[in-house]
Chain A
């Protein structure tokens, strides 16, 4: 049995690694001989089989091929309909994980428990969906770990470095930045920040637009009119993007499927970098945000580490070099280090001090004595980036006479403005009648090593209390029964 297994369930590529007896992690190839499996699923119409990986990506009908499902893990309304059946993002992800489990276990032994990596800014629903996907695929999730944290664990292990490290992880779909302190085997995370929908596939889309514009200019026609052809051109733009990381100039030719002629596309690295500049500026904002969160300046960082396929873009390196005054280092194979780090994390988690991924609090009317104004605000009890395990209490007062029920909305988010946070639960506590306003209510949040959050509400006068696990149970989350049913169904499927 493989005891320590890590999985990087990526937007474009997924990988599984295990820890060898010598303590070093290794990527386990799939049955197609690939170290990384494209995160693509094809629903075959003639045979009862789901193809996952390269075969799914390179052939098949676009209407039955699912790309980048990870981008929708946080969307409760996103469903994929195939042959009348609606699939949730968790179920599609479960198919990818099933392939990894079934095929990799033939090499490294049975896989029952895993560490799975997630983007730092994955919300509650996306994290729950990831766990559900693994369970449907027949694996128990030992821990979820942020992708840049996993990469940093691998970097620290393989390079033997110490000091303060900033990880810049620009993958297919998301950007994550983590700052951490490394001292021997001990790792202390200082902050993790993430940005949604900011990665290589956004750059591909931008290039696709440029191709379509050029085609229109040269031939007067539309480059693609259906999804199948759009996919083909997108594939070409992805290749061109990769070439531009090595060459200054790339020439390409494209045609539509209506015989409207061929257009010559002349791309320069400089031109491409201009096209994606606004996206890269967003990444600079996020790096600055991470530095601000950790109360650090660029000069306080000892190592800048690059992770994720999109960090091969030369501009990324020069931009960070300019910002930090030192050359960023690559984390070995930038596509594999997250999975490798996850396998290491499975064993070393006790020596890694993590932080809260989000702030937790409640909605409260806050009275400002200076302005005499009262305003609905998100009152944070545990701030993001507090080292875990931790527990914090905030005391509030009831605002009306004879309140019989105290209701505490549980919020997730850093903003003081209540409009900009998610309310992920509510605690209701019955209290005695005939009390004046101003009764004290203590709200305590606890965050354990497994990223589990609990909320405790105590009415101080009556001593009545209620404690709940803080967990998002809203739209998009499967019930335990439904999860069991779908797991059973999925295990009987042919997945290749």
Chain B
């Protein structure tokens, strides 16, 4: 792996910012720009199943499911206290799906 520190504001057309300036909002737009290739659907999509939300497929072994659910729990539990309100909202939905799948595949507590 090779890491490159890119000058994002230059490559994305941003101006020079002040030192250690609060960047939460700015960074959000930076990420939006980075992710701009993602298709935006004009129609409302049907609700996804917990499996679809969590990327669980019928072919996955139990261990793989367990690993995936743990990874997603770590991600979305952190996101539940993100500074980004949209991400916080998404996190709740994902955490519910993760719990449902755990109970389905590994039994109730």
Contacts and interface: CB of A to CB of B under 8 A. Distances in A.
Contacts of A322: 109
A294 interface: no
Interface string A217-247: 0000000000000000000000000000000
Interface string A440-462: 01010000000000010000000
B60 interface: no
B40 interface: no
B16 interface: yes
Contacts of A474: 22-25, 83
A277 B108 contact: yes
Nearest to B100: A278
Interface residues of A, number: 78
Contact of B5 (A121, A278, A426, A441): A441
Contacts, number: 198
Contact of B2 (A77, A292, A369, A473): A369
A417 B72 CA distance: 12
A124 B20 CA distance: 15
A428 B17 contact: yes
Contacts of A280: 109
B9 A423 contact: no
Nearest to A280: B109
A288 B83 CA distance: 25
B5 A396 contact: yes
Given A284-B109, A379-B3, A399-B4, A426 B78 contact: no
Given A74-B81, A319-B109, A409-B23, A365 B16 contact: no
Contact of A369 (B1, B6, B23, B30): B1
Contacts of A364: 3-6
A181 to B, nearest CB: 23
A404 B75 CA distance: 35
Interface bin, chain B: 35 or more
Contacts of B7: 398-400, 403, 405-407
A425 interface: yes
A396 B4 contact: yes
B70 A289 contact: yes
Contact of A397 (B5, B87, B109): B5
Interface string A58-86: 00000000000000001111000000000
A281 B109 contact: yes
A41 interface: no
Contact of A365 (B6, B27, B108): B6
A471 to B, nearest CB: 8
A282 interface: yes
Q: Which 9 A-B pairs have the closest CB atoms?
A: A423-B27, A396-B5, A474-B22, A468-B20, A426-B23, A367-B2, A399-B4, A399-B6, A196-B81
24 contacts: A121-B77, A124-B83, A282-B99, A286-B73, A292-B70, A364-B4, A365-B6, A366-B4, A368-B1, A374-B4, A396-B4, A397-B4, A397-B5, A405-B10, A407-B7, A418-B31, A419-B31, A423-B24, A423-B28, A441-B5, A468-B19, A469-B20, A472-B83, A475-B24
Given A121-B78, A441-B5, 13 more contacts: A121-B81, A285-B69, A364-B5, A367-B3, A397-B4, A399-B4, A407-B17, A418-B31, A419-B87, A420-B78, A422-B24, A423-B27, A466-B19
